[in-house]
Amino acid sequence: MEARHFHIEGIVQGVGFRPYVYLLAHEFGLSGWVNNTSDGVHIEVEGDESVIEKFITTIIVQPPDNSRITNWTQHRIEPAERKDFQIVNSDGNTDKTVLLAPDQAMCKECEKELHDPSNPRYRYPFITCTHCGPRYSIIRSLPYDRENTTMDEFYMCKNCREEYNDIMDRRYYSQTNSCHECGVSLTWNGIIGETEELLQKANEVLNRGEILAIKGIGGYLLLCDATKREVINKLRTRKKRPSKPLAVLYPDERILPGDIIAAKEELVEYRSVASPIVLFKVKPDPSSGIAMQEIAPGLSYVGAMKPYAPLLSLIARDFGKPLIATSANMSGSPIMYRDEEIMEELNGVADAFLGNDRKILMSEDDSVVRYSPKGKRIILRRSRGIAPNYFEDNHWSEMDVLAMGGSLKSTYFIKHAKNSYVSQYLGDQDTYESQLSYQSTLDHMVSLLDFGPELILADKHPRYSTADLGRRIASEHSIQFLNIQHHEAHFASVLAENRLTEAQEPVLGVVWDGTGYGNDKNIWGGEFFLYANHTMKRLDHFRNYSHILGDKMPKEPRISALSILKGTGLEDWLEDKFESNEWKYYHKQLERDDALLSSSVGRIFDAAACILGLGDKITYEGEAAMRLEDLALRGVHHERVIIEGDLLKPATHLIPLIQGLKAGVLRETLAFNFHWGMVRTIENVALESGSHCIAFSGGVFQNSLLLDLITDRMGNQYRLYFHKNLSPNDENVAYGQWAHFNIIGQEIFSTLRATSKPLNHLNT
C-alpha cells in the first residue's frame, strides 16, 4: 500500500478542481481526501503505486477547464488505511499563495438552461455553475469558498444545497450556486422587485429610446439601442464622450454575421471563457441597422461583445437587437460599481437603474482584444475575464515587490511568494476618482494576500500619482523605493514575456508610444534600445522636436504637425488650421531655447493624421492614430513609395504627405506609405545595430497594420517578438518595472535584501 501527499498550485480554486479530483480518485479506486487551502489544493491518496502515478499524471496533463497548474510537489506519507475518498473542509491557515481565478463568462450549459422553459432556472438572471460566473470580482478572502465571497449573504435552498453536495451534479461545490428561490434579487432604482416585472421594465426603457444602467459582473453598464442615432448621441452628450468608440452587445450569433466580417481566430476569441470585446471589420451595410457612424465615428470596425452574464443575455434577447454597452461612468472616470453611488452620480445620465443585491468587491472594465488582418492577437485592454493573473517562468528574486506602473492605462504588479499578479486595467490616473479607484483596488488585493512588500518600484516621472503613492507607502513603512525609466520598463516587459532575458545575442528593442519621462528629462517615445548581458542602453531615437503647451499638444494633432514641420518651409501649409493669434503665439513657443523636447512616435502619427485631414483636435487618446490606421488599411494594395532621407527625422515622414496631397495622390495611399516608411525606419536601425532579434513594446504597436507590415518586411530576416499576454500599451509597465529590476538591477539585490523590512500586511 502506497500513500502520498500532493500540493498543487496555480488557478485551482473556483474551477471545479476538487470535484474533478474526487471523481478521478473514485475512477482509479483510490482512498484519501482533497481540500482547498490558501496556498492551493492538497490531496492525500492511498493505493497501488502505479495507480497513484497514473492518477497524478492525469491531473497534471489533463486538468479541469479554466484551471492552470503552475507548480506541484509530492511526498510519501504513512498510509492511514482510509476506506473512501472525500472532499474535506477548506483550510485558510496557510500562506496565501493560491492564484485568483478571473471572472468567467456564462457557459453553454447554463446558457441553455437560462432559456429553457422547462428548466427550474429558466430566466434566472444569476445562473452559474462550477464552470462559470463571477470569481475575482466577489472574493473577500482566501481560499475561494462561498463564505469568503459576497455570496455568503445568500443561504442555499434545499434544492441548491442538494446540487452543491451531489458529486455527480455540475454544481457540485459551486460556490456561486443559487436559484430563483434563494438567490440574488434584481432591484429597480434601488428597490427589490419581481424578476419578470423588472426585466419587462428594462425592455420598455430600451424600446422607448432611453438609457438603462445595469449592474454587470465588474460594475454597472449603460445600455441603449444601437440602431438609433438619436439615443446614441444622447448617451454621448450625457456621458461627455463625443467620439470614442462604443461597444455593441449582440443578443446571439444569429445577428452578428450580418454585421461583421470575421476571421476564425476572432470568433474563437469572441466565444472564449474570457468573453472580451472583440474588434471586427464592419460590412458596408450592416444588416442589423446599427448606427455605425455614431458608434465608432471615422472607423470601419466595431467592438462586439456577447452576453457574458445571464442578466445581459436576458435583456439582449428580450430586446432582440444590438445594444450599446459601455461602462457606467463619466468619460475619464473609473467604472462605477457601488450601489450606493450609482444613482446619485449618474442621475441625468441613465434614465433607469437595474441593479441587484449581490455586492461587487473588485471593479473591472470589459477586456478588449483585436486581431491584425493577418491574425496577430493584440490585447488592447486586459481586465474582466483575463486579469488579475499573469504567468511567467523566470526564476527571479523571491522578494515581495509592489510595482506601481504608469499613469495612463495604469495597472499595478505584485510579486508575492511564488506568484506574480498584474492587476486589471485601472484607467488613466488624471482624475481624483481614478486615483481613489487605484488605491482601493490595491488595498483589496493586499488584504486578500496579506501582502507586505520589501521593495516598491515606480516610474521616473516626477508627477505621476502612482509614483507619488508608491513613495508615500515606502516612506510610511520604511520600504526600499526605486524609480524605473518608462521605456526601459516597456522593453524589459516584452523581453521577460518572451523569455529573452537570458538571450545569448543582443536584442534590439523598439519602444514607441505617446509619452514617457526620459533620463534626460525630456519626453521620450521613439526609442531604440539594445539589450545584452543584462545591460540595456538607448541605442538611438527619433530626432527631437519641440513639445509645447504641455497636455494641449497630445490633444491637438495640429500642434504636433506644426512642431515637426517647423523649419522645413512647409509649415505655412498648416496655417489655416489655427487662429491668427494662435499661429503667432505657437511660433514664439517653438522658438524658445528652453522648450521641452520630444522623440514621441505617437505625436508623429498624430501629425500625419492631421495633415491627411483626419482631425486637428481629438477627444480621446489615440483617436488620430486609429483613424490614420483605418485609412491606411484601405490603401494596402496601392503602390508602395520609398521615402528618401533621414528616416529618424520626423519631418521626413510628413513632407511626402503634403507633397502627395498637392499632387492629387489618394489619402489612403499616403496613409499606407506613411506606415511603410515607419517600418523601413525600424529596418534601417536594425541593420545598423547588427541584431537579428527584435522586441516591440509601446502603445503604437496596438496598430494592427504596423504589426503586419513589420512581419511581412522583416519576418524572414529577423526574429520578431511582440507582447502575447499583456497589452503593448502602458498596462505592461508595472510588470516591466519588476522585470527591469531583475534583469538590470541584480547587483543591488543583495543590499536591498539585507536592509529591507518585510511587512506582514500593507494598508495604503
How far apart, in Å, do the first and last CA atoms of the chain sit? 52
By percentage, how much of the chain surpasses pLDDT 70?
96
pLDDT of residue 760: 43
Dig out the grid coordinates for 731 from the structure.
Answer: 498596462
Q: Which residues of 189-227 are buried (b: 16+ CB within 10 A; e: fewer)?
A: eeeeeebeebbebbbebbeeebbbbbbbbbbbbbbbbbb
- State the average pLDDT for the chain: 92
Count of C-beta atoms within a 10 Å radius of residue 481:
18
Rounded CA separation 322/316 (Å): 7
Q: What is the pLDDT of residue 761?
A: 45
Nearest Cα to 216, choosing from 124, 144, 307?
307
Per the model's pLDDT, the better-predicted residue between 638 and 204 turns out to be: 204
Q: Please report, as a single letter, which amino acid is at residue 521.
A: K
Task: Assign 591 to helix, strand or coil.
Answer: coil
Cell of 693: 532579434
Residue bearing cell 522585470: 739
**Half-sphere exposure of residue 642, counting CA atoms within 13 Å on the CB side?**
3
Interacting residues of 713 by C-beta distance below 8 A, sequence separation 6+: 679, 680, 683
Q: Where in the chain is the domain with CATH 3.30.420.360?
A: 388-498+729-755
Residues 440 and 710: their CA atoms lie apart, in Å, by 40
CA distances from 512 to 509, 539, 541 (A): 10, 14, 10
Nearest-angstrom CA–CA distance, 26 and 45: 11
Q: What pLDDT score does 99 carry?
A: 74
* Amino acid in the structure at residue 692: H
For 693, the enclosing helix (H) or strand (E) is strand 693-697
Cα separation, 440 vs 180, in Å, equals 33
- Report the pLDDT averaged over residues 309-331: 95
What pLDDT does residue 97 have?
65
**Side-chain half-sphere of 450: how many Cα atoms within 13 Å?**
14
Lowest mean pLDDT among 96-110, 135-149, 510-524: 96-110
The three cell numbers locating residue 261: 466580417
The strand ranges marked E within 408-532 are 413-416, 419-422, 455-459, 480-484, 507-512, 526-532
CATH 3.30.420.40 segments of the chain: 545-721
- Give the CATH H-level superfamily of domain 545-721: ATPase, nucleotide binding domain (3.30.420.40)
Distance (Å) of CA 200 to CA 55, 188, 213: 51, 11, 15
How far CA 152 is from CA of 139, 177, 310, in Å, comes to 10, 11, 20
The tens digit of pLDDT for each residue in 6-28 reads 998 888 887 888 888 988 998 89
Q: Which residue has the higher pLDDT, 172 or 212?
A: 212
- What whole-number distance in Å separates Cα of residue 320 and Cα of residue 325? 14
- Would you say 748 and 468 are in contact if contact means Cβ atoms under 8 Å apart? no
Evaluate whether 260 touches 280 at the Cβ level (below 8 Å). Answer: yes
Whole-number Å distance between alpha carbons of 390 and 387: 7
Residue ranges with strand state E in 382-525: 401-403, 413-416, 419-422, 455-459, 480-484, 507-512
Question: What is the tens place of the pLDDT at every residue in 644-663?
Answer: 899 999 999 999 999 999 99
pLDDT in tens, 583-624: 999 999 999 988 899 999 999 999 999 999 999 999 999 999
Q: What is the pTM of this model?
A: 0.92
* Three cell numbers written together for 445: 488585493
Among 38, 216, 214, smallest CA distance to 138 is for 216
Q: What is the percent of the chain where pLDDT is above 90?
A: 78
The Cβ of residue 180 has, within 10 Å, a number of other Cβ atoms equal to 17
Is residue 94 scored above 70 in pLDDT?
Answer: no
Poorest-confidence range of 433-437, 608-612, 674-678? Answer: 433-437
The count of other CB atoms within 10 Å of the CB of residue 760 is: 7
Condensed to tens digits (0 to 9), the pLDDT of residues 532-587 reads 989 999 999 999 999 999 999 999 999 999 999 999 999 999 999 999 999 999 99
Higher model confidence: residue 81 or residue 712? 712
Mean pLDDT of 451-478: 94
Indicate if the pLDDT at residue 683 is higher than 70. Answer: yes
219-240: per-residue pLDDT in tens? 999 999 999 999 999 999 999 9
**What's the burial of 285, exposed, middle or buried (CB within 10 Å: 0-12/13-18/19+)?**
exposed
In angstroms, the CA 315 to CA 123 distance is 10
Q: What pLDDT, on a 0 to 100 scale, did the predictor assign at position 261?
A: 96
pLDDT tens-digit map of 374-411: 999 999 999 999 998 766 656 677 889 999 999 999 99
What is the average pLDDT across 129-139? Answer: 94
* Per-residue pLDDT tens over the stretch 692-701: 999 999 999 9
Q: What topology is assigned to 2-87 in CATH? A: Alpha-Beta Plaits (3.30.70)
CATH 3.30.420.360 at 388-498+729-755, yes or no: yes
Q: Give the pLDDT score at 175.
A: 92
CA neighbor of 255 nearest in space, from 207, 316, 297, 212: 316
3-state SS assignment for residue 594: coil
DSSP state of 101: P
Which residues lie below 8 Å from residue 537, measured CB to CB, with a gap of 6+? Answer: 529, 530
pLDDT in the model for residue 396: 78
Q: Angle at CA 370, nearest 5°, toward 368 and 373? A: 170
**What is the mean predicted confidence (pLDDT) over 64-79?**
86
**Helices 623-633/601-611 angle, 10° precision:** 60
SS3 350: strand
Residue type, 201: K
Q: Where in the chain is the domain with CATH 3.30.70.100?
A: 2-87
* CA 321 from centre of chain: 27
Cell numbers representing residue 666 in the block: 489618394
Q: Return contacts of 155-163, CB within 8 angstroms, 24+ apart.
A: 155/182, 156/182, 157/181, 157/182, 159/120
Q: What is the radius of gyration, based on Cα positions, of the chain? A: 27
Question: CATH 3.90.870.10 residue ranges in the chain?
Answer: 186-370
pLDDT confidence tier of residue 126, bands split at 50, 70 and 90: very high
**Looking at this protein, which amino acid is placed at residue 276?**
P
Residue 402, beta-bridge partner list? 414, 456
Pure H helices in 634-745: 650-662, 667-689, 704-714, 733-744
Residues 6 or more apart whose Cβ sits within 8 Å of residue 360: 137, 138, 150, 215, 217, 218, 219, 337, 338
DSSP 179: -
Distance CA 28, CA 35 (A): 18
User: For position 333, what pLDDT does the model report?
Assistant: 85
For residues 536 and 529, is the Cβ–Cβ distance under 8 A? yes
CA separation, residue 188 to residues 315, 354, 667 (Å): 14, 5, 51
What distance lies between CA 396 and its chain's CA centroid? 24
pLDDT, position 651: 98
Cβ proximity of 570 and 655 under 8 Å: yes
pLDDT tens, residue by residue, 159-180: 999 999 988 899 988 999 999 9
- What average pLDDT does range 349-355 have in this prediction? 97
pLDDT digit string, tens, across residues 334-348:
899 999 889 889 999
| C-alpha neighbours within 13 Å on the C-beta side of residue 10 | 19
pLDDT at residue 764 in the model = 40
Angle in degrees, CA 265, 266, 269, rounded to 5: 85
Q: What is the pLDDT of residue 391?
A: 67
pLDDT of residue 474: 95
Nearest residue to 40 (alpha-carbon basis) of 84, 101, 104, 81: 101
DSSP state of 129: B
Which pLDDT value is given to residue 758? 46
Residue type at 461 in one-letter notation: H
- Helix or strand or coil: residue 712? helix
Q: How far apart are CA 515 and CA 498, in angstroms?
A: 24
Least confident range of 71-85, 231-245, 716-730: 71-85
Q: Does domain 186-370 have CATH number 3.90.870.10?
A: yes
